[in-house]
């Protein structure tokens, strides 16, 4: 009997050691510098609130940490879309002026491999900028670092929240350098193929309500051949 207890305790300790190794594994660090931050091409920067309650509308299955907004919005409870969220939000330029509207659909991905530090979300953005046209952004995001450095500390905190400054790139592909694939739709973007990157800055997080203070950012790298984008430069 005592051997069985000893073995069980060992199994438990082993599982705990494994979990701790996963969380503190130095080989699963952030990718660091974003490839678009060193680009010499023209970059469009679009900001949006990372707090669901600041969106025009945000919905999911209704049982997640992030609550749908407004309260009576239709929820995505059907089996096929239960792990999906939809958001429509105002996009602002680098000077915080209203630039357009952004719609984001996100679904937890079956490509998630926690063993490799990959908590993957498949997402697409549709962005419409009245002065420029529309964009379709396809990406997969890795939330592993965010979970490790924001959500886990919040969960461990006695107050169930986290405060600090976390800045990270969420986009992990499909581009070879971990960038999103951007396709121009209408207006001056028509026919363009570009690269993009989504990042997030979080300063307060609650286990009960999700992000309390957070700002998201989309960077779109314009093609080199595009000399003059019609209208006002969004990034100036």
Q: Summarize as ranges the residues that interact with other proteins (CB under 8 A).
A: 2-3, 6-19, 21, 56-57, 59, 70-74, 76, 78-84, 86, 88, 90, 98, 100-101, 103, 105, 107-110, 112-115, 119-120, 122, 124, 126, 128, 130-131, 133-134, 136, 138, 174, 181, 183, 185-187
Distance of closest approach, residue 88 Cβ to other proteins, in angstroms: 6
Q: Which string of b and e fits 55-76 if b means at least 16 CB within 10 Å? A: beebbbbeeeebbbbeeeeeeb
- Sign of torsion, CA 60 61 67 68? positive
d(CA 181, CA 218): 12
Q: Among residues 154 and 180, whose Cβ is nearest to other proteins?
A: 180
Query: In this structure, what are the phi and psi dihedrals at residue 4, rounded to the nearest 5 degrees?
Result: -65, -40
Q: CB-wise, 103 or 226, nearer to other proteins?
A: 103
- Return the number of the residue (37 or 98) whose C-beta is nearest other proteins: 98
Q: Which is nearer to other proteins, 61 or 163 (CB)?
A: 61
Q: Rounded to the nearest whole angstrom, what is the least distance from the CB of residue 40 to other proteins in the complex? A: 26
**What pairs with residue 87 in β-bridges?**
58, 104
- Kindly tell me the sign of the dihedral angle through the C-alpha atoms of 101, 105, 111, 116: positive
């Amino acid at each position: 009997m005592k051997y069985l207890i000893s073995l069980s305790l060992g199994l438990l300790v082993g599982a705990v050691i494994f979990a701790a190794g996963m969380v503190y594994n130095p080989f699963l660090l952030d990718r660091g510098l974003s490839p678009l931050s060193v680009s010499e091409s023209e970059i469009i920067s679009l900001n949006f609130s990372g707090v669901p309650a600041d969106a025009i509308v945000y919905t999911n299955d209704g049982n997640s940490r992030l609550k749908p907004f407004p309260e009576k919005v239709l929820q995505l409870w059907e089996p096929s879309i239960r792990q999906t969220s939809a958001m429509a939000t105002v996009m602002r330029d680098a000077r915080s002026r209203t630039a357009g509207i952004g719609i984001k659909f996100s679904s937890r991905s079956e490509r998630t491999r926690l063993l490799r530090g990959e908590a993957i979300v498949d997402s697409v953005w549709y962005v419409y900028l009245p002065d420029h046209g529309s964009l379709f952004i396809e990406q997969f995001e890795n939330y592993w670092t965010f979970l490790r450095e924001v959500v886990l500390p919040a969960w461990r905190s006695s107050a169930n929240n986290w405060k600090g400054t976390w800045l990270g790139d969420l986009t992990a592909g499909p581009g070879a350098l971990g960038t999103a694939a951007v396709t121009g739709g209408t207006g001056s973007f028509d026919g363009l193929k570009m690269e993009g990157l989504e990042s997030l800055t979080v300063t307060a997080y609650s286990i009960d309500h999700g992000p309390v203070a957070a700002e998201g950012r989309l960077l779109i790298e314009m093609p080199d051949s595009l000399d003059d984008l019609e209208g006002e430069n969004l990034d100036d």
